[in-house]
Structure 1
């Protein structure tokens, strides 16, 4: 069936796909991959309907979603509005309420403040949505975003971290490569061995993207007390985090510099956002010899992993087609779709051997690489969540790991105190 599209500045209309296929079993059991459907579910998309879809996803992944849906739902037309064309505040002002939304997790509180999220528990029950399809920790993290235990969002992929490393630097200095399952303390020892200045080149053992690891918050520490809405940064646990992660910059020849792992190629190890496509291109054009291992952990990690960072679907309370929107979301969270996205390099968020085995299968330039490392970044016990966490995280990564720390002009206790004061000041400003 041909798919046609009409794009305008704020929206595109796309005719999409075949009969409803449920990704549901029962909500309280099963393996999460069943496709059985009942009468109510079968009728939810049996008639022609136009669904308004609002998203901040990039065009590449949006097109993949549309292609997958087009094979399943001939009775559905998607009217897609992109956030880059119509901002959240503009959307609220226009009053054209979407039927469902996909957005990045960092924008959840903005969506909530505009009244664009609702509890999907009734729909999950009605259509026997099996939340056990999700990986361990997902639903606990989801419910942490509501003080009532509501399901205000359903995540659809994981932003998992790995440790990238430049094999040529380790070969040059005769040092063993990193391996899966390392602790930060072990990475510290490796970084010391490859942080050198030789032949006019400074080789840095390990650098990391500050914002990314602050959001990952591997120790599961709160930024803001949900009862008082005050920062809780001056703690022994946050001191441990800062001493460990900031401590890398005190290794001789590994002082902080804004270097690019795949361009400069004098950084032995790096972690942050997923840069696989850029690394692959560098390998092709400059011969970068790279690989990855799983994200290192703290030797004593009470959370058991990292905080869930995942884009999500939600349904606004003002949606005129809640049932149809939820059926579409159910399909997008099915094993079938998760496998298709995994092949393209999206980390599955469901328990699925097929999706795991398919991961990165269609990505060029990764043959022989340890891509399974992306699947080892476990979701930890969620930290207390507040609407002011974005403010706190922004101040923390810019200030706590800022120049006062890595130039050793202030001690850790002073920095944490000043960070806490700055967070509280910005929270108060946001309340006015």
Structure 2
């Protein structure tokens, strides 16, 4: 019996040894799946600013790319790490302001340069001028990457950054505004509804026809934003932004505000304020701050309160309007707003330009990229039709750049093309950034105009007289800063 057991054990051990050996041979002859996988590559993406937590940027752009490209590891590298300024004295920060352009250039030219840079129009234009970005047109032609579905707002705006010589970046998203109008106010006044392609003068003429009432019952014709408490000086700057009027010359040595163009801007906006066509905080409260009697979810929104016939709003305002209308029965003394939109009015001197359009997610390839192939793969993927289709379903303050996937929200019907018909205002002179770095208090010269503009509204000066006074005071301030770049020049105190 003992011999039988020993025989069985020996056979069992022999089988196990054979099986183990056979298994080893199979493993030895079977290709290693892991060794067949592509080697992991690193794609370095530069951003203008960031910090220890880059989760938002990754959620927006890189998570889905890494999921679909498992062999590519993305590194996010900010040009300016804002977290470090938490530990710096504020006074020292003001004396040593951040130079975003120079910081970004270092990302592209250092020992370990980034492959992709993501930035706004000012940054990208500066980099193009320094020949630091790769032109994308040859890559697009080789891969037959079609941009015909991109809205002109985006493509034309990007081309302008390179002075029309080609595309040096692509942007998967953009933000934009339009002119919202209240149909009922126009219909009750018997006035034609606003239309696309209006000039500012045409829009102001309509505004005068529908403005009515006095005091708290006043309905204003137009506002440059929908919030209560309008700032006339800021309104003037918003209105004139497409004209790109300069406050001082390119060397910050001489004021440039005493001109017919500036006088027209100040005359136009100040008259609208005096005639109560545009709202200001003083006009609505008669100089008094009044506490709300009870909670009102639309308090301060002049358009939702039907206190203004036309207002400028961004694409996300559509959601707010729709939400308020759906909850109308819960809001005291609120009536649903029947609204639509048209393109923001333009200046005849700058046809087709306006709309408060921003391209803040421009993606470009570094001319010195270590991994240019994957850099293009990343840009191509983020600007693809597939990505736009997915992104268009999520709620965002920005719109996708492909017009096939720009659809009215929540089943509404409105003139959505108004958001992407106009071209963005070209970036300002990039040398201005250097001036503000050299003279950190230079902004005070521009802000000084507020005091003189208020004198126009108060009928203490004509627009021409106020601009002459601003020119004189501004020149004095510029001279002070030329002699002491970091010093704070004397300002004009607001008149009582």
Structure 2 contact 140–146 (Cα < 8 Å) conserved: no
Alpha-carbon displacement from aligned partner over 1:84-138 (angstroms, at most 9, x marks no partner) = 65777798899986543323445668x86xx9992223x6546647797563632
1:373 maps to which residue? 418
SS class of match (1:218): helix
Matched residues in 1 for 2:172 and 2:369: separation?
A: 20
Q: 2:340 aligns with which of 283, 286, 291?
A: 291
Q: Whole-Å Cα distance in 2 between the matches of residues 116 and 78 of structure 1? A: 26
Residue 182 of structure 2 corresponds to residue 166 of structure 1: yes
Secondary structure at 1:197 match in 2: coil
1:12 equivalent in structure 2: none
For the residue of structure 2 that corresponds to 1:260, the secondary structure is: coil
Q: CA deviation at 1:367?
A: 0.6
Deviation at 1:49, TM superposition (A): 2.1
2:320 is matched with which residue: 261, 272, 278?
278
Residue in 2 that maps onto 1:387 = 431
Instruction: State whether residues 202 and 253 of structure 1, in contact with CA within 8 Å, keep that contact through their aligned partners in structure 2.
Output: no
Partner Cα separation in structure 2 for residue 139 and residue 430 of structure 1: 38
2: CA distance between counterparts of 1:428 and 1:348?
Answer: 45
Question: CA separation of 1:79/1:85 partners in 2, compared to 1, >3 Å: closer, same or farther?
Answer: farther
SS of 2:375's equivalent in the other structure is helix
Q: What is residue 6 of structure 1 aligned with on the other side?
A: none
**How many residue pairs are counted as aligned between the two chains?**
372
- The alpha carbon displacement at 1:178 in A equals 1.9
Aligned-pair distance for 1:431?
5.8
How far did 1:242 drift?
A: 3.7
**Could you say what secondary structure the match of 2:195 adopts?**
coil
Please say which of residues 212-221 and 402-411 is displaced more in the overlay. Answer: 212-221
Report if aligned partners of 1:399, 1:419 keep a CA contact under 8 Å in 2. yes
* 2:257 aligned counterpart, secondary structure: coil
When the two chains are superposed, the root-mean-square deviation of aligned CA atoms in Å is 4.8
Q: Name the TM-score, length of structure 1 as normaliser.
A: 0.65
CA contact (8 A) 1:101 1:315 kept: yes
Aligned to 2:258: 234
1:268 paired with 2:309, answer yes
Q: Residues 315, 358 of structure 1: CA spacing in aligned structure 2 closer, same or farther, 3 A cutoff?
A: closer
Q: Does 1:103 align with 2:119?
A: yes
Residue in structure 1 matched with residue 45 of structure 2 by the alignment: 53
Q: 1:34-60 deviations in whole A, cap 9, x for unaligned?
A: xxxxxxxxxxxx752233434469977
For residues 445 and 306 of structure 2, the distance between their equivalents in structure 1, rounded to whole angstroms, comes to: 30
What is the CA-CA distance between 1:275 and the residue it aligns to?
4.2
Distance 2:131 2:320 in 1: 35
Shift of 1:62: 5.6
Q: 1:101 to 1:402 in 2, by over 3 A?
A: farther
Moved more, 244-253 or 90-99: 90-99
State whether structure 2 residue 378 is matched by structure 1 residue 325.
no
For residue 413 of structure 1, what is the aligned residue in structure 2?
464
Report the counterpart of residue 478 of structure 2 in structure 1.
425
Q: Pick from 407, 414, 418: which aligns with 1:360?
A: 407
Flag the 1:264–1:66 CA change in 2: closer, same or farther, 3 A: farther
Shift in Å, 1:296 = 1.3
Separation in structure 2 between the aligned mates of residue 211 and residue 387 of structure 1, nearest angstrom: 25
1:191 is aligned, of 207, 210, 216, to 207
Q: Following TM superposition, by how much is the alpha carbon of 1:430 offset from its aligned partner in structure 2, in angstroms?
A: 10
Distance 1:376 1:315 in 2: 28
1:402, 1:162 → 2: CA distance?
27
SS in 1 for 2:310: strand
Q: Which has the larger radius of gyration?
A: 2
Counterpart of 2:180 in 1: which secondary structure?
Answer: strand
Equivalent residue of 2:464, what SS? helix
Task: Determine the structure 2 residue equivalent to 1:11.
Answer: none
The structural deviation recorded for 1:359 is 0.9
1:309/1:212 Cα in 2 relative to 1: closer, same or farther (>3 Å)? farther
After TM superposition, the structure 1 = structure 2 runs for residues 19-418 of structure 1, keeping only pairs within 5 Å, are 47-55=39-47, 63-66=59-62, 68-70=64-66, 72-80=68-76, 98-105=114-121, 118-121=132-135, 125=138, 128=141, 135=152, 137-144=156-163, 154-197=170-213, 200-209=216-225, 210=234, 214=238, 217-219=241-243, 221=245, 225-226=249-250, 232-252=256-276, 254-257=278-281, 260-262=301-303, 264-276=305-317, 277-286=319-328, 288-289=336-337, 290-298=339-347, 300-306=348-354, 309-311=358-360, 312-315=362-365, 320-342=370-392, 344=394, 346-347=398-399, 349=401, 355-361=402-408, 363-364=409-410, 367-379=412-424, 382=426, 385-388=429-432, 399=449, 403-417=454-468
Report the CA distance shift for 1:228/1:86 in structure 2 as closer, same or farther (over 3 A).
closer
Does 131-140 or 242-251 show the bigger shift? 131-140
